[in-house]
Every structure is written in structure tokens, then in C-alpha cells.
Structure 1
Amino acid sequence: MRFRFSMCVLVALTSRQPLLADANVRVEVLKSGGIAIYRPGITTPIFAFNAPLAGRPYVHPLLSPDGKGTLTEFSPGHHRHQTGIYVGFLKVNGRDYFHNRGSENFRLRAFDYKNDPQGVVWKSTYDLLDKNKSAQLTETQAWVFHDFTQTYLIDLTWTAKAHTDVTFGKHDYGGLFIRMPFKNQKDAQAINSEGQINGKAEGQKAKWVDIGMSVPGRKGAAHIAVLSQKSVPWRVDGQLGVGPSPSRAGEWKIAKGRDTTLRYRFYVYTGEFQRDQVEAEWKAFSAIK
């Protein structure tokens, strides 16, 4: 049986803004693999997609839209395996791609990018390896990045094609995951579309979850709202690591030769929590067929 999930990641004040700011960004290829996106006047990349030859791809750093503060964290002491924004499932024919991110699990097949008026566009293709280092899945991540100076818009389409019958076992978390730099800030909060906050949002079905907290280098909070096209169970851990968790609802499968696609959208902004705007973005996104 083929399962199809549609979820999203968006970073922007609104998905209906004109795409005018993208002409100002430039792209550099990382020696370690992947790309870094720069904005004039800011010496560090505002966004980096890391595509190692033998390892799990991930986003880090992601700067706030105003360039003040980094919104992702790489390998924090409380969860060494977590790497900014990434996709990793557990119990995939017994394999764990969430906690294990090295060469024994991931092998790069291809990477390409372009920067044009439609935004920075790139695609990474990885083999997800079994215990014998044979590919049981081929994962493709297709991304589009738009810089609107005060906001970003980022889309991710994740596709996995099975080279054998693959079972994703039931688990409380796994899939897309977002790690912000949680330091027990007083203003740190994860709130979902149903109004449930922090631990009360753990395991609950929701349309979206907004993660907000202050980070070094800025006054006030920055937010990453993660939208799902349909209401799904979510992981919200004790340090406000967040991700939609399709495996929480139960076991699912991809038959040999078939594929499954997940779509994500992030909404990232600064300042006070903008519930009405996040909900409006979800309504616009959920209408996309």
C-alpha cells in the first residue's frame, strides 16, 4: 500500500509577497558539500544547506530574517544527533536514520543548484543504506529559498523511493525535525494550532507548531512556524525540538519500486507570536493541491 504525506516548511511573513529580494542573494558552494546563501551587508551566510559526501544532509546555520541571531543549533549537548533542520526516520526496516547520521547510513548520489529570479533552487539525492551498505531507499530533497529581507520563504519536497519492501515502524518521533538553540529561555515556547503549549503539545495532532525564543545576538524572540497540510501528530521534546511525526500514528510501508513524498513549509519571523498570520499562512498552504 502506498502512503502519501503532505506537510510543509515555510519561512516568511506571507507566501504572497513579490519575489523581488532574491536577486540580491549570492550562492557559494561549500567545500564540505552543499551551498551557503549570502545577503549583501552580512558577512556570514543567512542560510546553509550541508550535503556531506557520506552523512545526513541538514540546514545550519539559519539566521533570523533580520540577520540578528542564529535560529538553528548543531549537535547540542542534550541531543548530539540533532543537526539544525533535517529529515531522519527510525525503525526503517530496523535502521535508525534519526540518531545515526554518518557514512554507515547515508551516501550522496547527486547535488545540484541554481540561483534565478524564482529563488535559489537545489536538490540533494542520497542513498539510505541497510546494514550491508546497500541502498534500501533513495531520498531526494528538493528545496526552494526566497529572501524577503524581513522574512524568508523555504519549501522542501522530500521523496523516498524504495529498492526493497520497506516498513517504517511506529515510533513517537522521526521525519522532519527542527532544533532551535534552547537554553531554557524564559520566553521559549512551542505552541500548536490547537493552543496547546510545550509539553501539552507533545504527541498531539495539529495543523502547525510555532517555535519561538530569544537567541544570542538579538533582543526579542524569533520564530519558526512549521506547517502541515493536514493535521498530524507532533513531537515536542523537553528542549522544544519539534517535528511532525507520521510514524506516531502507526506503521506504514513503501513497496519495492514505489515512492512516497512529504512536503514541508516553514514560516519564520521575528517579534511577538503572530497566531493570526500563522493560521492565514496555513489556510493558504492547505489549499494547494
Structure 2
Amino acid sequence: MNIPYLRAETDEQSIRIYRGNHPDPILVQNAQTNQRPFIHPILAPDGKGVLTENAPPHHSWQHGICIGLNDVNGIGFWEEGIKHHPKDGSFHPQPLKPTVINLHHASWEIETYWRDPQGNHMITELQQWSLHDLGSTYELDFQWSLRAEIKLTFGRYDYGGLFLRMPYRHELGGEALNSEGQMNGEAEGKRARWVSCRMPIEGRSDNAGFVFMDHPKNTEHPVPWRVDGQLGISPSRCIAGQWELDQGETQMSKYRILVFCDNMDPSSVNENWRNFASKIAMNKE
């Protein structure tokens, strides 16, 4: 397959990544002022169908690939104030820097201030993304850093962290499968190295989906996972219990997201995970 080189259009609030001169981006990073950053849409690697969903009616605070937590010093960074909860915090992305393009690779980062309801700066979040276009699949490697601007306690919760929302429709179904062979609701709250999610997509005659992978150097690896009733998936350290960060301390986690068409054989996923797991070093501040 002859894969066109990537190109990017970047402004202070969005990044659009394209294959060659194709008019539709394969991925859009959104970082609107005073809103949670998120990735949507992601186009299937063969160009047929959008694999993410933004603000579905059942969970309007969920956006494609996004991040949030439910209990940080009692403050919620999940529902975005949509339910008018008085203890919901807010997200404040800083202006985006230019995307770095190298043939079939693209990399970018987003720094976001997380503030409490009174506007106090609690967390500085850094998302560092790297996209490798392999033609039939994409690999998205992601490093997530949280720096505590005050002493923080992260409460135990049933979900939170890096999250995927696909365009699930009950009548069409779908499948989540983890590295331990557990499917759909069986995988809820269970520890696993990876979880895949695939489902029918508008404009396709077959399925397409994602595999989220947890790096072995992450705390709580293999991490417990959220697998919700609409097949939203999330590696959720918070399921395992409470943790703390002292003021000035930084926590880093590393993930890979594999984007695929049709189906991914578990043996192929395991091989890809082993390749990812061998990348031991994480960036240091």
C-alpha cells in the first residue's frame, strides 16, 4: 500500500492531520478555550467511516478520545458542569504549538490547567501524542502527565482516566474483548494488559475499532478497566483505590491506541503490545 505522507493544519485551538492532499482529516485534535481537550473525529484507516463519537445523547460530556477524573480533592473533572454540580472543575487548554510531521509520523502536545470551581489551579496536565500511520492501521502512542499544583488526593471511583467513546447503537451491538479473554460486561472492572472495542460503523460493511494498551511501567499495571453499557472503555487506575500526589509532584502514564478495520486477532494484538511494552523509557521533565 502506497501511503501518502502526512500533513497537518494547526492553529491555537485545533490540529487537523491529513494524508497527502485528501480533503478529509484522518484525525482532529480539539483544544478549544476553556473546554476539555479531545480527539474527534478519527477516520478509519481505510478511509471508510468515522470511528469516534462526540457528545452522545446518553453521555453528552464524552468526546471521542478524552480524559477526566471524578474525585480530585472532592472536585469532579468528568461531567464538565453539564449537570450543574457545584463541585465540578474546569479545563483550560493553553494555545497549541505547531505539529511535528516526519513522513508518516505526527506528534503534538497539549498543556491544560485543571481548575476548581473557584478558579484555583489544581493540576497542570500534559498530553503528548505520537501518530504513526501504517496504512491498514494507526498507532497512537500517548504519554499523560499530571503535575500537582497543590497536594492532591485522587479518590477511588468506578471509572476515570483515558476514555474512548465510539458510535455505539444498541440495535447493532459491538464487542469489547480484553487480554484475558473476557468480553463486554465480563471485562468491567477487571485487570488486563489491553482492551479492544469494535462495532458496526456507518458507511462500512464490516466492523472497525480500537485497542487501548496499558504500559507495564504504569502504576497498577495490569490496570482495572471500565467497560460501560455502551462499550465505552477506559484504563481506570482509580478503580483500584485512592492515591496521592504532593505539591510539585508529577505522575506519568503511557498508553498505546491501535486503530483498526474489520477485526484484530488477539495474537496480533499481543505481539503489538509486546512491542509497545519493550519501549520502557518514559520522557522525563
Common fold: TM-score over 0.5: yes
Letter in 1 for 2:266: R
C-alpha root-mean-square deviation of aligned residues, in Å? Answer: 2.0
- Structure 1 segments of 4 or more deviating over 4 A? 20-23, 101-104
Quote the residue 2:191 is aligned against: 205
The question of 1:134 aligning with 2:120 is answered yes
Task: Point out which structure has higher relative CO (alpha carbons under 8 A, 6+ apart).
Answer: 1
CA deviations on 1:65-123 (whole Å, 9 max, x unpaired) are: 00101110000011111000011111011111111178960112342122234721111
Quote the residue 2:94 is aligned against: 109
| Pairs aligned (count) | 269
The question of 1:28 aligning with 2:9 is answered yes
* Cα contact 2:56–2:62 (8 A) shared by 1: yes
- The DSSP-based 3-state class of the residue aligned with 2:63 is coil
Residue 238 of structure 2, aligned match among 240, 247, 253: 247
* Cα contact 2:6–2:103 (8 A) shared by 1: no
* Cα contact 2:77–2:89 (8 A) shared by 1: no
Letter in 1 for 2:163: F
Q: Which moved more, 1:132-141 or 1:40-49?
A: 40-49
**How high is the TM-score relative to the length of structure 2?**
0.89
Letter in 1 for 2:66: Y
> Unaligned regions of 5+ residues in structure 2, if any?
83-87, 216-220, 281-285
* Cα contact 1:209–1:226 (8 A) shared by 2: yes
Q: Give the CA deviation at 1:148.
A: 2.0
Distance in structure 2 (CA, Å) of the matches to 1:142 and 1:245: 19
> Unaligned regions of 5+ residues in structure 1, if any?
1-19
- The DSSP-based 3-state class of the residue aligned with 1:91 is strand
Distance in structure 2 (CA, Å) of the matches to 1:239 and 1:166: 31
Q: Give the CA deviation at 1:272.
A: 2.7
Letter in 2 for 1:71: L
Change (3 A) 1:188 1:156: same
* Cα contact 1:21–1:147 (8 A) shared by 2: no
The question of 1:257 aligning with 2:238 is answered no
Quote the residue 1:233 is aligned against: 224
Quote the residue 1:152 is aligned against: 138
Identity of aligned residues (%): 37
